[in-house]
A = this chain, B = another copy of it.
Amino acid sequence: MARTTGSHSEITGPRVREAALRLFARHGYAAVSMRQIATEVGVQAGALYNYTPDKQSLLFSLMRGHMDELLAARKALGEEGSPTDRLERFTRFHISFHSERPEAVFISYMELRSLEPENFQIIESLRRDYENALEGILRDGMDSGAFTVADPKIATLAVIAMLTGVNTWYRSAGRLTLEEVEQIYWDMVRRCVS
């Protein structure tokens, strides 16, 4: 892991982000030092500042990148089909997307309070966009009579909380395959809104 002088910007940049992602997720933003990140990458602390203006920007960039990916992937699901079909797609998508990047998910939920106010507002707004996508499905289903939901706003938050909870226990080497987990949760979500 010892490093000598040289240029490695194309390699080191991503490695800084990966190390920060892993360490922030494991120990928390405030508990991780720039020196630790540098050690993980194999450079000295000063070298990190070639890739980020400061520690806060590094956190924000990770969270922003995650939310942008999430929203783009959600959009790619499309709007075709019945509300029930769309809700099933959303449910399965949420579980599989989140299970593939547990560290980014964890940071994006846990480190909101570590963001400076302007950065917080931006991430919060992106998250609301995501919630609104689900709420739209639920409202369409209420209008068409497919769903019975007392309060679509609350049902949205309840479903997302339930689905995101998968990340606290799911391991790909565990008792259930991801497909089985998706099926179990889809059964519960479907019954929740019918």
Contact = CB atoms under 8 A, between A and B. Distances in A.
A157 B164 CA distance: 11
Given A161-B165, A184-B150, A28 B113 contact: yes
A179 to B, nearest CB: 13
Contact of A31 (B110, B114, B187, B191): B114
Interface string A28-71: 11110000000000000000000000000000000000000000
A157 B168 contact: yes
Contact of A155 (B164, B188, B194): B188
A77 interface: no
Contact of A168 (B161, B188, B191, B192): B161
Nearest to A25: B113
A176 B194 CA distance: 22
A27 interface: yes
A158 B165 contact: yes
A151 B184 CA distance: 8
Given A28-B29, A162-B165, A191-B192, 6 more contacts: A28-B28, A158-B185, A158-B188, A159-B162, A161-B164, A161-B165
